[in-house]
Structure 1
Amino acid sequence: MSYAINYNEFLISGNGEEPCISVNDNDPAHIMYTSGTTGRPKGAILSHKNQLSNALSVLIERDSSPDEIFLCIPPLFHEAALALTLETVMMGGSTIIQRQFDPAAISETIGKEKITTLFMVPAMWNALLQVPNLGKFNFSSLKLAITGAAILPQSLRKAISGIIPNVKLYDMFGQTEMSPVTTLLKPKDALRKTASVGKPIIGVEIRVVDYHGQDVPVGQVGEIIYRSAGMLLEYYKNSEATEQAIVDGWFHSGDLVRLDSEGFVYVVDRKKDMVISGGENVYPAEVEAVLYNHEKVLEAAVIGIPSGKWGEGVHAVVVLKNGQYISAVELLEYCAAHLAGYKKPRSIDFAEALPRNAAGKVLKTKLREKFGSAMKY
C-alpha cells in the first residue's frame, strides 16, 4: 500500500535544524532503473556528482531562465524527467507535475499554467498532435520544447514546429547510466543536421568503436561509448553487468551511431535491435522512419523474426491513425519504393497500440515474444 505525505505538513513536522550528515560527491544519491527495452531493467547507482554535473552541463548548453515553468509529464522514475526537474530547481524555476498522460488535459495545462518548458518523448508528442481541435489551445507561453528517450522522426519534428512555431526545439540523447544526457541537438543546427542528435555536451567524451573496441572512421557505424562525471557508479547487485558495461573507464552504451565530419552524432539503432537479413545489416530505425512518413501511419516498430530463407526477416508492427485504412500489401509496396530491397519489411502486422514501458519506450522484447524472436549467434 502506498500513500503520499502532504508537503506542508512534512515541513512543519521538522525541527529546522540542519542534519549533521556528511554527504560526499561520490556517495550514491539513488538507484534509477533502466528502461528494460532489450531485457530485464538494471538498477543504475547514480551519485550526487553524477546528477549535478550532468544538470549543470545541460543548463550551460540550453536556454534557461529563473522564470522557467517546467511541465513534468513522464514519471519521475524516468531519469530524464528527474534530471529536468533538478535543472529547474537549480535555476529557481517552478515545476508543474502532471499526474497522468492525457494529451487534451496537457494542452489545457500549458495555457492555464503558462508553461514555458515542455519535455515529452516522441510517442507523447505524436499523441498530442492527434488531439481534436488542437488549434483552440493556447501554446503561446512555450519557449522550449524538449524531446528525448527515443529517436524523433523528422515528420514529427516538422509537425511540432507547425503547432508551436516560435518554440525552440531541443533533441536530447543519452541514457539512464549517464545521468542521462550525452548529446544535444540545438535549434540552430536542426535544419542543417535534420537526422542528428547533436554533439556531445560539455564534460562528455565520446568514441565510436567496432566490436574490438577500436575507433571507426568518420561516417562508419559503430557503438558509441562515453566517459564523463555523469557516468554511473555501478549496477545494483550486478557486478557482471557492470564489468561488461564499463571497460577501461568507458561506458559501452549499446547504441549504434555514426559521426559526420563536424562531430555530429547520428543514431542508427540499438545494437541488440539490429536485424541481419540475408547477411546484410538492417537497422530498424531507418525502416521505422520510412513508415512514419506515410500519412496514414501513427506509429511503427520493426523487429527481426525467424526466416528460413533470410535467417532473419524484417517484420513491421504498425499502428494506423484513427479512421485510416491501408492494406499490408499497399504498405509493403510503399516501403519497397523508399528502401533498398534487403531493408524493406517482408511482413507487416497491424496493432491498436505498441507495447510501451512507463517512460514511453517501445518494448520490442514484447513484440519478439508475440511474433517470434530470431536466433542470434
Structure 2
Amino acid sequence: MPAYVPPPNVLQSRHGAIGALFHTRVRANPTHRAVVDGDRVITYEALEERSNQLANALLSQGLRQGDRVGLLARNRLEYVEVELAAAKAGLIVACLNWRLADRELRHCINLVEVSILIVQEEFAETLERLDLKEHRRILLGGDYEAFLATSTADFPGLDIDPESGLVILYTSGTTGLPKGALISHRAMVARAMCFASEQNIPIGDNFCAWPPFYHMASTDQALATLLRGGTVHVVDGYEPDLLIDILEREEMGLFILMPGMVGQFAAILEARKVKVKGVGRCGAMADLVPREDIAAVTRALNSPYSNTFGATETGLPPASSSVIPIGLAPTNLAKRQSAFCDIRLVDTDDNEVPIGTPGEVAMRGPTLFSGYWNADETNEKDFRNGWFHMGDVLRRNADGTLDYVDRVKYMIKSGGENIYPAEIEQVMLADERVQEAVVVRRPDRKWSEVPVAFVVPADPSLTENDLMDLCRENLSSYKRPKDIIFLADRDLPRSTTGKVQRHELEARL
C-alpha cells in the first residue's frame, strides 16, 4: 500500500493566519478592551470593524496578496489596526523606523517597494526629501479616516497561506544599511505560543507596548496578546510617568525593560515607593544590563528578571525561558534553551563544537523568519546547510545551559587568539562600581588587534588599576584590555534599541 499523502483539502485546513485567528477571538470577547492608547480605548469588536474596513480599502486599491504597505509612525493605536488589516488582506507591513537618517529610511522604503505608505503627519516632510519609488501616501488622521470610510466592515475572509509574509522588521549590524527580515504568519503564530508558554503569560493578560512597534519587542508580543484575548497598552517610548501609571493599575505577565534604562527606572520606582499591581517577570537581554541594576529593578517591581536571548529573526527562542530571582545581582547568566527550537553550536566549518567550547548558534524552528528581503547572497550564507546562523556565539555547559559569549562578527583576533569582548565586559560588570563596560578592538603592530575597554563608572572612586587587578584575577593575559577609558553614560553611542555602537567607539581610538 502506498504511503498516505494528505489531499489538498486536508492541507488547506492548516491555514490559520493571524487575521483569521483574531477574527475568531473577537467572537469570544467582543466588548473587552483590545488596545488602550492614553484616553483612547478600542474594544475587540471595534478593532475588528476598523481593521476590516482598512483591509477592504487597501484591497480596493488593487493591491494583491504579498504587496507591501509601509508604516511610518510612532507607537499609537493605529499601528495595531494597520498590522491586523494587512494580515486579513494578505499584505505585508513594512514597519519603518522613524529615527533613521534620510539615506537609511530611503533604502528601507525602496528596498521593499511599498505600494501604499501610511505615515504620521510629523514625518510627511521627511518623506518629501527622499527619492522614493512611486506609491500612494495616506496621512494618519483625517486622510486615514476618510480612507477607512470608503469600504465596508465585512471580514475579507481570504484564504491566506501561513507561510505568507506578515511584517517586515528591519535589522542592522554595526555597519551597513538595514536588512528587511520577513516574518510570516506561521512564525508569528509560533511566537505567540512561545510568548505564552515560555513567559508563563495567562489568557487575557495585559501587555505594555512601549518599545517601538518597528521592533519585535512590541509587534510580536502585542499580536500575541490580542490572539489570547488580552489588552495592549500603547505608550510612545520610554515615558516613566506613563509606564508607572499603567503598572500601578494593571497586572501583567511580562513588563519589558531595555538595556540603558533599567537602572534609571529602578531608581525612579524606588524614589517614589511605587506599588505595582503585579508583574510576573520583567526585563530583557540581561547580558547587556549591569548586575546591580537587575537586582534593583527586580526589588522595585517585586518581579524576577527575564534572562532572554532571542532576535528579530528568531523571536524569543533560542533561549528566553530563564529568570533571575528577585534581588539577586547574578554572577552567572546561564540560560535554558527554549522548548520550541533546535540549535547547534558550530565552528567556522559548520561542525558542532564540544561542550564548553564557544560556537556560533545555528537554529531551526517554527518561530524563524523567512529570510531577508531581496538579499539572496546573505540568505545563502546565513541559511547554509538548512540552518539559520544567527551570528551570535554561545557556549553550552555540562548541565545543558547556555552562556552568551559574543557576536561572531565582532571578534578581536590578537596574536592568533580569538577574544570575545563580552567575556571581558562580564568580568568588569561583576563589580558593582561599574555601570557599563564596552570592549572594542584597536589595531596593534605586534598583535594585529588588542582589546580596549570603555567604562562608565557607577562609583567615582573607581580607578583603572582597580579594573586591571580584576581582569588579572579573572582573565588570561591576552584577554586583558590594554587600555581602560572612562566616560559618562551620555557619551556612549547607542542605536535606537539601546545597543552600544562599537564601531563609533573604535573610531575614537
Interval containing the TM-score (normalised by the shorter chain): 0.7 to 0.9
Contact 2:290 2:436 in 1 (8 A): no
Contact 1:73 1:120 in 2 (8 A): no
Q: How far apart are residue 303 of structure 1 and its match?
A: 0.9
Report whether the alignment pairs 1:34 with 2:168.
no
Separation (CA, whole Å) in 2 of partners of 1:130 and 1:9: 45
Q: Which moved more, 1:171-180 or 1:331-340?
A: 331-340
With normalisation by structure 1, the TM-score equals 0.86
| Alignment match, 1:198 | 336
> Quick one: structure 1 residues 194 and 67, their matched pair in 2 at CA, closer, same or farther if it must change by over 3 Å?
farther
Contact 1:122 1:151 in 2 (8 A): yes
Separation (CA, whole Å) in 2 of partners of 1:132 and 1:80: 22
Q: Which amino acid aligns with 1:125?
A: V
> Quick one: structure 1 residues 330 and 262, their matched pair in 2 at CA, closer, same or farther if it must change by over 3 Å?
closer
| Alignment match, 1:357 | 495
Which structure ranks higher in relative contact order (CA pairs < 8 Å, sequence separation ≥ 6)?
A: 1
| Alignment match, 2:462 | 326
**Structure number with larger C-alpha Rg:** 2
Q: Over the residues paired in the alignment, what is the CA RMSD in angstroms?
A: 2.9
**Identity percentage over the alignment?**
29
Mapping 1:228-377, distance limit 5 Å: 228-321=365-458, 324-352=460-488, 353=490, 354-371=492-509
Q: How far apart are residue 39 of structure 1 and its match?
A: 4.2
Q: Which moved more, 1:128-137 or 1:233-242?
A: 128-137
Separation (CA, whole Å) in 1 of partners of 2:270 and 2:289: 24
Separation (CA, whole Å) in 2 of partners of 1:17 and 1:294: 60
Q: Which amino acid aligns with 1:363?
A: Q
Match of 2:478, SS state, is: coil
Q: How far apart are residue 312 of structure 1 and its match?
A: 1.1
Contact 1:184 1:200 in 2 (8 A): yes
Q: Which moved more, 1:236-245 or 1:2-11?
A: 2-11
Q: Which has the higher helix share?
A: 2
Separation (CA, whole Å) in 1 of partners of 2:216 and 2:298: 26
Match of 1:50, SS state, is: helix
Separation (CA, whole Å) in 2 of partners of 1:8 and 1:194: 52
> Quick one: structure 1 residues 145 and 158, their matched pair in 2 at CA, closer, same or farther if it must change by over 3 Å?
same
| Alignment match, 2:312 | 176
Q: Deviations over 1:54-107 (max 9, x none)?
A: 221331222111342222221111113211212211221112122131445533
Separation (CA, whole Å) in 2 of partners of 1:121 and 1:150: 11
Separation (CA, whole Å) in 1 of partners of 2:157 and 2:286: 38
In the alignment of these two chains, the number of paired residues is 368
Structure 1 residue runs without a partner (length 5+): 372-377
Report whether the alignment pairs 1:157 with 2:256.
no
Contact 1:79 1:176 in 2 (8 A): yes
With normalisation by structure 2, the TM-score equals 0.66
Structure 2 residue runs without a partner (length 5+): 1-122, 125-138
Contact 2:212 2:218 in 1 (8 A): yes
Mapping 1:110-149, distance limit 5 Å: 110-131=247-268, 133-134=270-271, 136-148=273-285
Separation (CA, whole Å) in 1 of partners of 2:294 and 2:168: 32
Separation (CA, whole Å) in 2 of partners of 1:292 and 1:131: 22
Q: How far apart are residue 245 of structure 1 and its match?
A: 0.5
Separation (CA, whole Å) in 2 of partners of 1:38 and 1:120: 25
Contact 2:307 2:322 in 1 (8 A): yes
Q: Which moved more, 1:255-264 or 1:215-224?
A: 255-264
Query: Following TM superposition, where does structure 1 have runs of at least 4 consecutive aligned residues deviating by more than 6 angstroms?
Result: 6-13, 188-193
